[in-house]
Amino acid sequence: MTNEKVAPGRQKFAPAIGSITLCLVATLYVLLVTNRMFWIKAYGYFIAEPAAFAAFVIGIYAAIMALFTFFSAKYVTKPVLIFFVLVASVSSWFNDQFGVIIDKEMIRNAAVSTGAESSHLITTRFITYVLLTGVLPSLVIVWIRIVHRPILKKLAYNTAVILACSAIFVAAGTTFYKTYAGIGRAHRDMMDTLNPVMPITSAVRYVIDAQRNANVVAEPLGTDARRVGTVDNGKPRVTIIVAGETARAQNFSLGGYAKMTNPELAKRNVVYFPNTSSCGTATATSIPCLFSVYTRQQYSHRKGLETENLLDVLTHAKVDVTWLDNDTGSYDVTNRVSYTFLPHSADPRFCQDGECKDEILVDKVDGWLDKVKGDSVLVLHQLGSHGPAYYQRYPDEFRRFQPDCRSNDFSSCSQEEITNAYDNTILYTDHIVSTVIDKLKQRSNSISGSVLYFSDHGESLGENGIYLHGTPYIIAPSQQTHVPMLVWMADDLAKAAGFDMACLAKRAAEGTYSHDNIFHSVLGMMDVSTKVYDPSLDVFATCRTPSKKLALK
C-alpha cells in the first residue's frame, strides 16, 4: 500500500479504491454510457450470431480494460482516466446526435473550422450532456482516493491484469474468427465509433500527418500551360467558379426535386449535371481534391500539398486568378494566387458574429469585374448550406419554405422544419448563382463570360439517423456524395469557342460525372493547353467543333 499523504478531511470523507478497481469501473462506465452508437451498430451486425456478439462484448471490454490498466500508475491514473472519460463524452454526443464518425478527416475538418462555425455545435444540450457524462464522473475521479500497491508489486499485478485481459481478447477473437472476419469485411465502419479509442487514434494520426506535411513545398505543375484560343471579338474570357458548400443534389429542383428550390436558375439557360459525385464528404478534403490534378482515387492530403493545382496552371497560362472566400478557407489551394477572406471585413450589411451571408460575395463581383483587363478566373467560395444553423444562411426574404427550423439544435425542430430550413439555403444559393450570371450578362459588351457551379459535398438531414456530413467516403450515404453541378455560358463565347450547348445538355443529362472533371473542364473552358490536360475528363471536349478540339491537344 502507498504511503501517500492526504489531508485529514479528505482521508475522512473521500472513499478509497484500488487503481485496478477504478480502471475496471471506468471501463464499464465508458463502454455503457458513451458508446451507445457503437453497441447499436455492433448488435445489428451480429444479430444472427448472438454467441459471437457475446464474445465480442467480452473481448472489447477486456481490450479497453487492458488499455486503462496500462496507465495505472501513481500521478498518472487520474489525469489519464479523466482525459479518456471527457473524450468519450464529447465524441459520443456527436456520434449519437448526428451519426458522426470521428476519423482523421473529421479531426482535420474540425482543426480548420472557424470559431463561428464551431460555435453552432455548442448548444445547451451539448453542454448539459458533457457536464453529466464527462465532467461529473471526472470530478468523482478527482474526489476519490486511489490506493496503490508498492511499485514492484504494482508492476507485477498490472502486468498480470494486462496479460489476462489480452488473453481474453485473443480467445474471444480466435473463437469466432470467421464470423468477425466476415462481418468486418462487410461493415468496415464497425469499430469507427468505439470511444474513446477511435477519436484519440484519429487525433494522433492527424497530428502525425500535420507534422510530416508541415514543410512540404508544392512541385510545379503545368508550367507549359498557354492560352490557345481567343474570342473572335477580342473580349477577355472570364469564368466565375462558384464553389458551393454543403448543397446536396437531392434537393435541387433542377434535378427533379419536388419543391421549387431553383426558380431563378431554371430561367437562366444553364446546363445541369444531375449525376455528379464529390471527391469527399467534408470541405477540407473536397476543396483541395477537386482543384487538384488527381482523381478521387489518386488523391491524398499530402499529394494535394506537394503538387500545384488548377489555379497555378491557369496562372502559368497568364490567366488572372482571384479567390474570394466566405467559408472557412481555401485549404492551401490559394497559396500562390490572390486571396481575400471576406468574414474578416465584418461588413455590417452582411455579417454578424463572425459569419456573413453569401450576398457579400456578389457585392464584390462588380468591383472585380471593373478591373478585368484580360482572361480571368474568379472563385467565389460560399458558406452556402453549412449546418446545423441553416436558418442563419439566408435572409428573411428567402424563408419561402415554412415552418423552418430556427435553431442549431435539431432536437427542438421537426424533420419538416429542418428540411424546410435547408431548402431555403438552396433557394438562396439559387439566387446567388443567378445574380452572378446576370452580372456577366450585363457586361456582355466587354467580356465573354461563363459560370461553373458545384458543391464541395452534400449533407445528411436525418436519413438513417445521420445528420450533417463528414462520414468516411467508403460508407457515406449518397446524400453526402451526390452533389449539384451546372454551367452557364454566354452565347458569343459558346459560338466563338465552338461549344455546342445542346450537345452538352444531352450528355449532362445522360452521363455520370464527378469532381474529377473540374480540373480539366476549367482548362477546356479557358482554352488552356498543357500536357497535364486530359480531354477525357473535360466535360466540354466531346461537344466542341473539331477545330477547337484540335486546338486543345
pTM (predicted TM-score): 0.89
Of the pLDDT bands very low, low, confident and very high (cuts 50, 70, 90), residue 456 is very high
pLDDT digits over 294-325, tens only? 999 999 999 999 999 999 999 999 999 999 99
* pLDDT score at 6: 46
pLDDT digits over 469-492, tens only? 999 999 999 999 999 999 999 999
* Residue 290 dihedral angles phi and psi, to the nearest 5°: -70, -25
Counting DSSP H helices and E strands in the chain, the numbers are 22, 18
* pLDDT score at 188: 82
Q: Can the peptide bond before residue 388 be classed as cis, meaning omega within 30 degrees of 0?
A: yes
* pLDDT score at 231: 62
Give the helix/strand (H/E) hosting 55.
helix 50-70
pLDDT surpasses 60 at 9: no
Is 499 in contact with 543 (CB distance < 8 Å)? yes
Nearest to 309 by CA among 219, 241, 244: 219
* pLDDT score at 185: 84
Burial 386-399 (b: 16+ CB within 10 A, else e): bbbbbbbbbeeebb
Question: Beta 271-272 vs 485-489: how paired, if at all?
Answer: antiparallel
pLDDT surpasses 60 at 244: yes
pLDDT digits over 41-84, tens only? 999 999 999 999 999 999 999 999 999 999 999 899 999 999 99
Q: What is the CATH number of domain 232-551?
A: 3.40.720.10
Query: Where are the domain boundaries for CATH 3.40.720.10 in the chain?
Result: 232-551
pLDDT digits over 86-142, tens only? 999 999 999 999 988 898 888 988 887 777 878 888 899 999 999 999 999 999 999
Give the residue-averaged pLDDT of 262-283: 97
